[in-house]
Amino acid sequence: MIFKGKDFRHLLYSTVLILMIFGEVKAQLAWPVIRQQHKPWTRWWWEGSAVNEKGLSWNLDQYQKAGLGGVEITPIYGIYGEEKNFVDFLSPRWMQLFSHTLKESRRLGLGVDLANGTGWPFGGPWVKDEDASKAIYHKVYTVEGAGQLTEPVSFEREGFVRTANGKKLAIGSVQNPVTQNKNLQELALDQVQFAGKLPLVTLMAYNQHSKSLDLTSKVSADGRLQWKAPSGSGKWTLYALFEGLHGKMVERAAPGGEGYAIDHFSKRAAQNYFKNFDEAFKGYDISYLRSFLMTPTRWMMHAERPTGHLNFSMSFINVKAMICVQNYLRCLVNQTMREAQE
């Protein structure tokens, strides 16, 4: 068939258009360049941080050959029998091994993330008592009109210990402070509460007419209440709150990472916690590190780790908040007591 004139031009234009469309579609369907971010990454547990340069290089080479894009380093509890090879988290030797990992990963084109702690939740031996997680306890007293409380306003807490490995352990065998124990990897402490009196946070009194009084300042150092109920005011119910260390430890911590878990709701506690990383990283080039794993999801994973009665944070309390707590303390305590009975 022979095309002439107008028909030929139409055929030519149509052919060119089809070729252009096909070329554009083909270009759009071309597979993109595969980069680090497109490949699967893996969580890399450093068990006891019992690693060395040769082993790290070999493992990274295997990860690269398997097609991984990167690793997330998470120091974790050690393996029985490898104690002599343990390396304390963030120690100078640990930082040498970490630096070697960054250099080798750069050479192989692998990305690197680092968990902001060992085990879970976040914490460690550098977490001081004031930054550690807390628990609140209550006690109720009654005083008749014109009467006076004879017993001290105090709360004596019994000692308690729970381990992550399920082994039974007597609280008497755990040294206070916990960081003084030399065998923390073997003990595998999960929660520790030492026996003793807890400090008073607030003492509120309510009479049968819903009148309330803040009596906190009237409690002496030995717990004696220097207050007498007004005559003719009826029966008073006194509600006391006491604060104590919750005692949650970093569960399954790596060597050098054992210690109290931080108060996850305290800005000061978080800032003090991360200062330790700043100190450890001084003098080392960690520029190749992609990120610290501090996403909201990971933070809440740590914050929601089963802690058992972790129910208080002083970061919640300012002047206005304390006034609110005091005004409704009776309701809060009564509700707690009802729930405990159900």
Instruction: Give the pLDDT of residue 292.
Output: 85
Query: What whole-number distance in Å separates Cα of residue 3 and Cα of residue 10?
Result: 10
**How many Cα atoms are found within 13 Å in the side-chain-facing hemisphere of 122?**
26
**Three-class secondary structure of residue 293 per DSSP:** strand
Looking at residue 226, its pLDDT comes to: 96
Q: Is 120 exposed, middle or buried (0-12, 13-18, 19+ CB in 10 A)?
A: buried
Query: Tell me, what's the pLDDT at 271?
Result: 95
pLDDT of residue 249: 95
Per the structure block, which two tokens stand in for 189? Answer: 């402490």
Exposed/middle/buried for 269, CB within 10 Å: 0-12, 13-18, 19+?
buried
Q: Give the pLDDT score at 272.
A: 96
Structure confidence at residue 7 (pLDDT): 62
pLDDT of residue 70: 97
pLDDT of residue 195: 96
* DSSP codes, 102-143: HHHHHHHT-EEEEESSSSBSSEETT--GGGB-EEEEEEEEEE
pLDDT of residue 332: 60
Neighbours of 322 (CB within 10 A): 15
Q: Cβ(154)–Cβ(203) under 8 Å?
A: no
**Separation in Å, CA 76 to CA 101, 194, 341:** 17, 26, 40
pLDDT for residue 320: 42
Tell me whether strands 260-261 and 156-157 are parallel, antiparallel or unpaired.
unpaired
Residue 319: the pLDDT is 42
pLDDT means per 10 residues, the chain with 342 residues, are 56 65 61 87 97 98 97 95 96 98 98 92 94 92 92 96 93 94 94 96 87 92 95 90 94 96 90 96 96 56 48 56 56 55 52
User: Could you tell me the residue ranges of all domains in the chain?
Assistant: 1-30, 32-131+259-310, 134-152+201-244+312-342
